[in-house]
Amino acid sequence: MTSAEARRVEQLSEPMRTLRRGFMIFLRVECGLLASTLEAYGRDLDALLLDLQEGGVDRIEDLTPKRLIDHVRMLGRDRAYSPATVSRHIATIKVLCKWLCATGRLPDNPADHLDQPAKWKRLPGVMTPGQMRRLLSAPCPAPNAKPDAIPLWKRDRAILELMYASGLRASEVGHIGLSDLMEKIGVVRVLGKGEKHRLVPMGKPAMDAMDEYVRDCRSRLVTAERAAERRDRGKLFLTKSGRPIERVRVWQIVTRWAKAAGLKDVHPHTLRHSFATHLLMGGADLRIVQSLLGHADITTTQIYTHVDRTQLTKVIKTMHPRG
């Protein structure tokens, strides 16, 4: 539990704390959610429980549909949350209420008639191939770097190359182990949402960057002392202290080198979106892109099909019998 979570939990009554603890165990053990997803559920749950508590609802058995509707309205009106964020809160509430009914705490589901807000799907940013090349070539030694300094920029370049080559989420980067690299067949095994594994091709530039990182950088991050302590836990990408890299650090790496490359509004999902979009522009089948991204439902993948109109026109003229 993070310090922010701990502060929120301290404000809850003991019955609400017990409820929260049981639900989070259910999400982690029964649903198998990743740490990043659990963190998001925890934040949404805390917002609901604190709001209920402030409104005089001390027992979850007193939860009503009206109370849930008032909470959702508050999120959009008072906190000015976006429709997408409100939708995520509603999803958390629905899972919570189903669990409360399944465990006998509530006789009826008060979230049955909770509607999702109308949502305008904002397309994530996408870089051109030229911009991507600028980003991938940005990592380099610092001007004042000492000759014997550990070349962390090689780690950063390997991360950027792999994220673009394989369409990885920031949360997936830290889970990759040395044993997940299958260089002979050119694929990497990725642990995605729902604890599901998938195999994704890497490409030669990504493999070359990782070979250089493992040889020149990672080997120096894992000293004999750290290896004895097993700090690295067999993970591929490590911090300066020899521990597995975390999602927040991946975000910092991407934004740092994007800024160095003169690119604005670039974050890890931009690389994932560019990976999918460039594949589709090159003629890849949507089902293949779905598999590479690890999407359970193809409707999730369809957001990546915003190929520009000139490309669509070219496809129609080339492929349509009456084009």
For the chain, the structural domain boundaries read 3-102, 129-317
H or E stretch at 173: helix 170-173
Looking at 3.40.640.10, 3.30.43.10, 3.30.565.10, 1.10.443.10, the CATH number of the domain 129-317 comes to 1.10.443.10
Return the active site residues.
169, 193, 269, 272, 295, 304
Q: Do domains 3-102 and 129-317 have the same CATH topology?
A: no
Question: What is the pLDDT at residue 265?
Answer: 87
Question: What is the pLDDT at residue 308?
Answer: 47
Question: What is the pLDDT at residue 237?
Answer: 94
How far is it, in rounded angstroms, from Cα 102 to Cα 104? 6
Residue identified by tokens 């594949």 is: 279
Question: What is the pLDDT at residue 315?
Answer: 54
Q: Would you write out the chain's pLDDT as a tens digit for each of its 323 residues?
A: 455 556 766 778 888 888 889 999 988 888 877 787 888 888 899 889 888 888 888 788 888 888 888 888 888 887 878 777 888 889 899 999 999 999 888 888 988 878 766 554 555 678 888 999 999 999 999 888 888 889 999 999 999 999 999 999 998 999 999 999 998 888 999 988 878 889 999 889 999 999 999 999 998 988 856 766 778 888 999 999 889 999 899 999 999 999 999 998 899 989 998 898 888 878 888 888 888 888 877 777 766 665 544 554 555 566 556 54
| DSSP tag of 62 | G
Question: What is the pLDDT at residue 120?
Answer: 45
Q: Give residues with Cβ within 8 angstroms of 174, minimum separation 6.
A: 235, 237, 244, 245, 246, 247, 250
CATH of domain 3-102: 1.10.150
3-state secondary structure of 244: strand
Long-range contacts of 242-246 (CB under 8 A, 24+ apart): 244/174, 245/159, 245/173, 245/174, 246/174
Instruction: Read off the pTM.
Output: 0.62
Q: Using the Cα atoms of residue 27, residue 30, residue 191 and residue 246 in order, give the sign of their dihedral.
A: positive
